[in-house]
């Protein structure tokens, strides 16, 4: 069976879509060698590091900018897949083609542009979202990352439940626990980044749904700063302080937390496992996630989490986390205190989280995705 995969984000590994397509293709090549995989992308997207045996089909044409992206997604990629003799097209992000010369599988990670008003954008963005939402209703199979996202897709896109399939993502194998006293990687990271001895950790974006202002206020009223437990915040800081992306530096100053909050800025992927392992707890009180990989990475490293409830995070972090309602600063502060002060609770969540994280794997993701291909293409 020959599968044409939209690889527009292949050369963007810092994005969620880029990470997904890379992990999926590498593991499909390992667990399903009988599949003929071909990456299809505009010529300016480098496909040079595709796994051995995976084909690459560069597209020619005026593909720069948003108009070029739309042309590639809707016309050039489907036509190229047909010329390639593919049995199926997989679009690994929310942009399936409206016309389907071949069966189409689309992965929809979340419906944030449809569900959250602040993320809908201007007229052109809303028009694009409406277009791909309509196209998704025509897809032969919609793969999504969680049951929470599946419920949203079924309700909002009005597609039959039997055409929606949940396939979990996974943390990479490098996210694993290590004894702190012999964790040389963590010790080196502490020296290089100037990390405090004991800290809570947030790692992610700063857009409004991530609830970073609420985390800072909860930390301020928890009293943990006075007990010597710092808060470390990692992620590319906003270029401007706006209602959509509040700059944490302003609130840190207003709350008098400059000595207790450490703002790391962008964190290199290679540093993340040790950064998770060194934390007393991982804080991720997001109001909405289609999957939410950081809490899974944290509990896979043996670090319990505090998460926002109401979307996919309870499903993903499971028994390795305490869940609090998004926006409830008092509940968040209490959860932080409990994980900081209750060693028995911490140990229980750590053990349960490690066992839960072990049930996720990219090999399983690839096998289930390959099974979807076979079902859709009739193989």
* Span 24-37, pLDDT tens digits: 999 999 999 999 99
Question: Which string of DSSP letters, residue by residue, matches 17-77?
Answer: HHHHHHHHHHHHHHH-TTSEEEEEEETTS--TTPPTT-EEEEEPSS--HHHHHHHIIIIIH
- Average per-residue pLDDT in the chain? 94
Q: Which residue has the tokens 């209750």?
A: 342
- Which whole-number Å values give the CA distances from 5 to 28, 57, 58, in the listed order? 12, 10, 12
DSSP string, 283-344: EE--S--SS-HHHHHHHHTT--EEEE-SSSHHHHHGGGEEEE-TT-HHHHHHHHHHHHH-HH
Write the pLDDT tens digit of every residue in 202-226: 999 999 999 999 999 999 999 999 9
User: What is the reported pLDDT for 44?
Assistant: 84
What number is the average pLDDT over the span 304-319?
96
Neighbours of 242 (CB within 10 A): 12
As a whole number, mean pLDDT of residues 236-249 equals 95
Model-level pTM greater than 0.85? yes
Residues 97 and 109: their CA atoms lie apart, in Å, by 17
Residue 15: predicted pLDDT: 87
Given the structure tokens 């790391």, which residue do they identify?
264
Give residue-wise pLDDT tens across range 252-287.
999 999 999 999 999 999 999 999 999 999 999 999
Helix (H, G, I), strand (E, B) or coil at 363: helix
pLDDT of 175 higher than 80:
yes
Q: How far apart are the C-alpha atoms of 357 and 371, rounded to whole Å?
A: 23
Cβ atoms 279, 336 nearer than 8 A: no
Instruction: Using alpha carbons, select from 248, 263, 284 the residue that is nearest to residue 193.
Output: 263
> H-helix or E-strand containing 349?
helix 343-357
> pLDDT by residue (tens digit) across 101-151?
899 999 999 999 999 999 999 998 999 999 999 999 999 999 999 999 999
What are the E-state strand segments in 81-193?
Answer: 88-91, 104-107, 141-144, 164-166
Alpha-carbon distances, residue 88 vs 95, 140, 338, 354 (angstroms): 15, 10, 50, 37
C-alpha–C-alpha distance, residues 57 and 68, integer Å: 17
Residue 179 vs residue 245, higher pLDDT = 245
pLDDT exceeds cutoff 60 at 379: no
The answer to whether 321 and 295 are in contact (CB under 8 A) is yes
Residue 69 banded pLDDT, cuts 50, 70, 90: confident
d(CA 40, CA 58): 6
């Amino acid at each position: 069976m020959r599968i044409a995969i939209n690889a527009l984000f292949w050369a963007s590994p810092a994005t969620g879509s880029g990470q997904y397509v890379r992990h999926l293709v590498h593991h499909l090549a390992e667990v399903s060698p009988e599949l003929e995989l071909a990456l299809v992308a505009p010529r300016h997207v480098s496909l040079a590091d595709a796994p051995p045996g995976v084909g690459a089909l560069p597209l020619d044409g005026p593909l720069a900018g948003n108009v070029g992206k739309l042309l590639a997604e809707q016309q050039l990629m489907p036509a190229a897949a047909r010329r390639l003799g593919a049995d199926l097209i997989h679009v690994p992000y929310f942009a399936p083609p409206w016309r389907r010369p071949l069966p189409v599988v689309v992965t929809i990670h979340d419906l944030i542009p449809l569900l959250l008003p602040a993320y809908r954008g201007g007229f052109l963005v809303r028009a694009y979202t409406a277009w791909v939402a309509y196209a998704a209703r025509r897809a032969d199979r919609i793969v999504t990352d969680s049951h929470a996202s599946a419920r949203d897709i079924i309700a909002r896109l009005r597609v039959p439940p039997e055409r929606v399939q949940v396939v979990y993502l996974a943390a990479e194998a490098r996210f694993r626990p290590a004894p702190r006293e012999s964790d040389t990687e963590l010790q080196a990271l502490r020296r290089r980044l100037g990390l405090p001895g004991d800290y809570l950790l947030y790692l992610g974006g700063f857009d409004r749904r991530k609830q970073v202002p609420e985390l800072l206020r909860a930390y301020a009223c928890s009293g943990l700063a006075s007990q010597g437990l710092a808060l470390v915040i990692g992620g590319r800081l906003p270029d401007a302080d706006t209602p959509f992306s509040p700059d944490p530096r302003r609130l840190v100053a207003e709350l008098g937390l400059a000595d207790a909050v450490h703002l790391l800025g962008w964190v290199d992927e290679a540093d993340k496992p040790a950064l998770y392992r060194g934390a007393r707890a991982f804080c991720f009180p997001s109001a909405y996630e289609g999957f939410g990989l950081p809490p899974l990475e944290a509990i896979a490293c043996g670090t319990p989490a505090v998460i926002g409830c109401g979307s996919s995070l309870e499903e993903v972090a499971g028994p390795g986390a305490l869940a609090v309602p998004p926006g409830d600063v008092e509940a968040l502060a209490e959860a932080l205190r409990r994980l900081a002060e209750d060693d028995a609770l911490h140990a229980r969540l750590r053990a349960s989280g490690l066992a839960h994280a072990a049930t996720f794997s990219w090999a399983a993701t690839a096998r289930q995705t390959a099974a979807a291909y076979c079902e859709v293409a009739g193989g």
